[in-house]
Amino acid sequence: MADPLLATPAGKTRARALGIPFQGRPGPHNAITDVPGLAVGYTTLIEGEGDLVVGEGPIRTGVTAILPRGQAQADVPCWAGHFSLNGNGELTGSWWIEEAGLCDGPITITNTHSCGVARDATIEWMHANSAQFQHGPAWGLPVAGETYDGYLNDVNGFHVTKDHVFAAIDGASVGPIEEGSVGGGTGMMLYGMKGGSGTASRVVRHADQDYTVGAFVQANFGLRRDLVIAGIPMAAHLPGADPYGEDRGSIIAVVATDAPLLPHQCKRLARRVSLGVGRSGSYSGHYSGDIFLALSTANADALRGSREEWDLRALPDARLDPFFEAVVQAVDEAILNVLAVSEPMTGIDGHVVEALDRDRLVATLQAQNRWVAPPGLRESGAGA
């Protein structure tokens, strides 16, 4: 089996395999699923070729489901906080998170015009699968996020159905997960190249205990001329056309940790996503919906069922700096993983989005003395 730090389950080359240098210690899968119990599932829809016929295709879309506690404990909330760097987007459930500091049920991410379907289907799934919903009147305000895939996808064809959402939730699993043109990220673009779904993680040592900070991004933002990798402005090294010519995309980022954090602390982590996004060159343009969620899976017993009092653990605010740093590092790598694994895609009306030129990137890193031999090459003494 390939090293999950270097390749996805399907064998796609991740950012570390290209010699991009990163800071921090990744988890065993370098994925948000390194957070114990957290599961991710996808439904990917790729159908048709040629001219756009609204309602028929071509279809280049899907839905992603993130279950912080897996299917069996989907009705146990998590402490959470959110942050909007630029609000040209949607994240349902945000007001309840702001009010109560709680995130309920599966989290879904899809295309802009399917966000409502994803939200409503999540409630229906909870009603069918959660004891909380099955025993009398209950309500939910699930989190559903979106980014726009209308350059490649028949976005007004409304091809994502509730059954696709159910499949993503039911199929969510732990361990290594696929990246690139999968799930809600199927039709996305990133820095003028093929974008999509990406993930990474960091291990943080605190008081003789290891905690995990995991990040998942649906990356659909930025202009090619602004891309920065390993501190190198890439405009001259990776030339090419920008499909839009202005930053018209978005990014939804979910950060999860098993560290015991309170809602205001989760919100502080969510703010630091902005710094991770900025590392690759984004300035968060007017048309970009850059919205971030952070949650903690700790304190499940305190949040399970009704309580007269909460008995819970929390880290001191003054000890959060390593977690802030981990967020920045994991988000940056998750975004670059999207670029690294994604392949070219042709969508509606013959629109083509090219992939990252991996060979040219490696040559640039080497010429600028920024290339780092991947673990396999490093151990064998090989490499340029």
Can you give the residue ranges of every domain in the chain? 22-68+75-357
pLDDT of 169 > 70? The answer is yes
Q: What per-residue confidence (pLDDT) applies to 248?
A: 81
| DSSP-H helix ranges across 280-374 | 300-303, 321-341, 358-367
Mean pLDDT of the chain: 94
Residues 223 and 191 sit within 8 Å (Cβ to Cβ): yes
Instruction: Check residue 270 and give left, alpha or beta (phi > 0: left; psi -120 to 50: alpha).
Output: alpha
The DSSP element (H or E) to which 108 belongs, if any, is strand 107-111
Closest CA to 6 of 268, 341, 267, 349: 341
pLDDT of 384 > 60? The answer is no
Q: Which of 130, 201, 250, 274 is catalytic?
A: 250
Please state, in angstroms and as integers, the Cα–Cα distance from residue 287 to each residue in 92, 192, 207, 249, 298, following that order: 19, 15, 43, 7, 35
Residues 45 and 60 sit within 8 Å (Cβ to Cβ): yes
- Whether 250 is catalytic: yes
- 242-263 pLDDT, tens digit per residue, is 888 888 889 999 999 999 999 9
- Whether 84 is catalytic: no
Q: Which of 197, 288, 296, 342 is catalytic?
A: 288
Reported pTM: 0.96
- Whether 94 is catalytic: no
Residues 281 and 222 sit within 8 Å (Cβ to Cβ): yes
Q: Which of 149, 247, 290, 332 is catalytic?
A: 290
Query: What does the radius of gyration of the chain's CA atoms come to, in whole angstroms?
Result: 20
| Percentage of the chain exceeding pLDDT 70 | 96
- 171-215 pLDDT, tens digit per residue, is 999 999 999 999 999 999 999 999 999 999 999 999 999 999 999
Question: In CATH terms, is domain 22-68+75-357 a member of 3.20.20.70?
Answer: no
